[in-house]
Chains A and B, each alone.
Chain A
Amino acid sequence: MPPGPPMAERALAGRPASPGLAAGPVHRLPAAGGGRVPSGDPAVEAEDLRSAIGHALVAVETLMNEVGGEAADVLGFQAALLSDDELTRPAFAAVADGAPADEAWQAAMASEIAGYLAGEDEYFRARAADLEDLRDRVLDALNGGEAQATPPGAVLVAHDMPPSRFLAVDWSAGGAILLAAGSATSHVAMLARSRGVPMIVGLGFDPDDAQGEALVDGETGRVVMDPDPATVASFESRRAAAERERAAVAAILDKPAVTRDGTRVAVHLNIADPAELKAIDPAHCDGIGLVRTEFLFHGRSGLPGEEAQFGVYRMMAEWAGGRPVTIRTLDAGGDKPIPGLTLEGESNPFLGLRGLRLSLRHPEVFRVQIRALLRASAYGAVKIMLPMVTTPAELAQARGLVGQEHAALQTAGRKLGDPPLGIMVEVPAAAVAVDLFDADFFSIGSNDLTQYVTAAGRDSDAVADLADPLHPAVLRLVAGVARYGREVGRDVSLCGDAGGDPAVIPHLLRAGLRSVSVAPAALGRAKAAIAAVDLGVPA
């Protein structure tokens, strides 16, 4: 390294788009295009444009045949668009009116891209990058140039990045992507995740200012530019530890979770968005322990109808292939308001009208969800779970509604199942007096239970250290619920963050819990933590 004045390291923060840690030299990706001299003859310009589009299409199709898998699907989509006259017609029309080929193409694509960016759905907005990719490919062909190679192991910085640039890079030597803008749902982000390339978007920096070395943390979205030697050393030791953990997790992911002494522990998934399931092999888990149905209620068009809910629930039931799928009824309120449904202006919403309390206040909304759940239960092992249950009367009231809707659907000749009805144990009243609740199963909501037992709000950083799931009071309640479930033969699980926390898992198992539900990203980590526990019980 050449001597020079010591650079002060700089920290940046963006949104994580692909996990992993990487270190390397910063490389600025150049923007495409520039330098072409127009002929001034519309016929020549049209021929140039036709030829450039043809070249770009051949390049996309050639690459598609080389790469395979998800990358081939991305390119297949691009090829389909580029082959569609609908995409190219406005550019040819502008050329016929005298515009140079590159300007005509750029303007036509800008208009199409604007249509995507105006979409309400982030997924469709993210497809704009595919169109930018096509725009740049054709511009490159018009300019007679190709994108230059990037150095191996480099940290690529740009405003945004099209999939073709990603695919043109040799990632075998490592590297990472830092984007000033970009989206975690873009095709590039998807490619980065499947290729294991750390990526951070929304950094908001000027890519032209970035230079030197960069440390990239794709888990947290943090970047350190021009790091001090001490920062580099601690980063490298973290990277080594993460690599060991990744190897251990990969080795354990497809195996059932078993403690060192041979005790089987069920590990389920917490799902907040059905799209998460696409990347998960159902055989890697024991089912879904919590579906947060709130995602359905935040759509553009108000509350979801019965058919929309049924479709999603059925898809998840079928995905699980006979494994249990525990679907929680709407848990709005608290820190999850829904306009037009939850109360506004509650002084303490965590102690207010939330969860089942809200559903019982709006039976017309609740009944729609119940019907969708009953119908979906014909397609798999659906279980219905009620959040924020405080009194046995609430459970009885919900059971009454389920019974009424079941009878009505049956009379109407609809295909339906008879799913178990269980409760979340998160209100201390339910945890202390669990034996009063005639529920078919219990699932401990450790996040809320901890905040209510310790009187330390989840929304307050200042008391975060008090909201400790390892507080003996919390663990005693967990043990009590687990013991009661064993006595009466009803399933007990736990679906808060504690269930996926390697530091908490041993205590939960010693409290008698034999089932947890964790975020998909924590699945392997939880299995590894369980495997390290010795309960001292002979197998």
Chain B
Amino acid sequence: MSNEPVMAAALLTNAVGLHARPSVKLTQLAKSFASSVDIALDAAGPWVDAKSPVKVMRVKAAQGTTLHVRAAGPDAAAAVAAVVALIARRFDEHEADAAGAAHG
């Protein structure tokens, strides 16, 4: 088995970026894999442990940011694919959101 990390990138398109609820979803998903999973704002790093909500929030990734994802370990490819899919689904955020939204 190769120890080369698997990498990918995805654009954050949900309205308020990697904010509270998406961060929680991301870390929960990352923790479901045995591999290490990291994120970064730049392909050159610095990389941040995607299993730590405190560290993920410190990244302050806003909407329109390209998020780089890296995983290393037995299920690295699946982990990267799952994280990229979560970002592409905009973290399944559809209804009332934690943003300062107008009331209707």
Residues of A in contact with B (beta carbons under 8 Å apart): 18-19, 70, 73-74, 76-77, 80-81, 84-87, 112, 115-116, 119-124, 126-127, 130, 183-185, 187, 189-190, 193-194, 253, 273-281, 284, 296, 299-301, 304, 307-308, 311-312, 314-315, 519-521, 523-524
Contact = CB atoms under 8 A, between A and B. Distances in A.
Interface in B5-56: 11, 13-17, 19-21, 23-24, 27-28, 52-55
Given A80-B27, A521-B103, A278 B97 contact: yes
A278 B93 contact: yes
Given A77-B24, A121-B60, A253-B104, A127 B15 contact: no
A81 B27 CA distance: 11
Contact of A279 (B17, B52, B101): B101
A308 B54 contact: no
A312 B97 CA distance: 16
A246 to B, nearest CB: 11
A304 B23 contact: no
Contacts, number: 134
Interface residues of B, number: 37
B13 A312 contact: yes
A218 to B, nearest CB: 11
B98 interface: yes
7 closest A-B pairs by CB? A185-B100, A311-B13, A278-B97, A308-B64, A279-B101, A275-B99, A86-B54
A183 B100 CA distance: 9
A121 B20 contact: no
A84 B101 CA distance: 29
Contacts of A521: 102-104
Interface string B71-104: 0000000000000000000100111111111111
Nearest to A122: B100
A311 B64 contact: yes
- Describe A's contact surface by its main secondary structure: helix
A81 B54 contact: yes
A77 B20 contact: yes
A121 B62 CA distance: 7
Given A123-B17, A275-B16, A311-B11, A299 B64 contact: yes
A70 B94 CA distance: 13
Contacts of A307: 11, 66
Given A73-B98, A190-B100, A284-B104, A304 B64 contact: yes
Nearest to A183: B100
Interface in B54-69: 54-55, 57-58, 60, 62-64, 66
B99 A81 contact: no
A317 to B, nearest CB: 12
B51 to A, nearest CB: 9
Nearest to B98: A190
Contacts of B28: 80
Given A304-B64, A521-B102, A275 B15 contact: yes
Most A Cβ at <10 Å: residue of B13, B63, B64, B98 = B98
A123 B21 contact: no
Contacts of B93: 278
A223 to B, nearest CB: 20
Given A80-B27, A280-B104, 13 more contacts: A77-B20, A84-B55, A86-B55, A123-B99, A184-B100, A189-B100, A194-B96, A275-B16, A276-B102, A308-B11, A519-B102, A521-B102, A523-B104
A279 B97 contact: yes
A521 B104 CA distance: 6
Nearest to A272: B102
B23 A77 contact: yes
A519 B17 CA distance: 24
Contacts of A119: 60
Contacts of B15: 273-275, 277-278, 315
Q: Specify which of B24, B58, B93, B100 lies most central, judged by the most chain A CB atoms within 10 Å of its CB.
A: B100
A35 to B, nearest CB: 28
B24 A76 contact: yes
A25 to B, nearest CB: 26
Contacts of A520: 102, 104
